[in-house]
Amino acid sequence: MIKVSECLISIKIEELEEGGYLATSDTLQGLIAQGRTIAETMEIAQDVARKLIESYIEHGDPLPFEIVTSRKVIQDVKIPINVTV
C-alpha cells in the first residue's frame, strides 16, 4: 500500500535577466527549477522537490528538519495569475 502525504517547503523565486524565473530552496538543498513563468517555475519546483524527497525516503536518509508535513494546515499563500490585456 502506498501512503501519500503532503509536505510544505519554502522556495525563493527570482526573475532572470535573460528572461524566465529561477526557483531555489534553502530548505531542500539541490532544488533548482527554471521556467518561463512563475506558475511554470513553481510546477517544475514541485516535481523536483517530490523527486528529492522520495530519494531521501528510498535511501533511508532523514529529511531536513525544516520540511513540514501538512496536516490540514491552511496558510496565506500568494499564487500567480497570468492576465492578458
Question: What CATH code is carried by the domain that includes residue 48?
Answer: 3.30.160.250
β-pair partners for 57: none
Count of domains forming the chain: 1
Cβ(35)–Cβ(78) under 8 Å?
no
Tell me the mean pLDDT per 10 residues along the chain, length 85.
72 96 93 95 95 90 77 69 79
Task: Decide if 77 is inside a domain.
Answer: no
pLDDT at 63: 82
The whole domain housing 23 covers 7-69
Q: Which three cell numbers stand for residue 33?
A: 527549477
Contact 69, 5 (CB under 8 A): yes
Does residue 75 lie within any of the structural domains?
Answer: no
Contacts of 49 (CB under 8 A, 6+ apart): 7, 9, 11, 25, 28, 31
In a domain, 38, yes or no: yes
List helix spans (H) across 3-71: 38-58
The answer to whether position 80 is within a domain reads: no
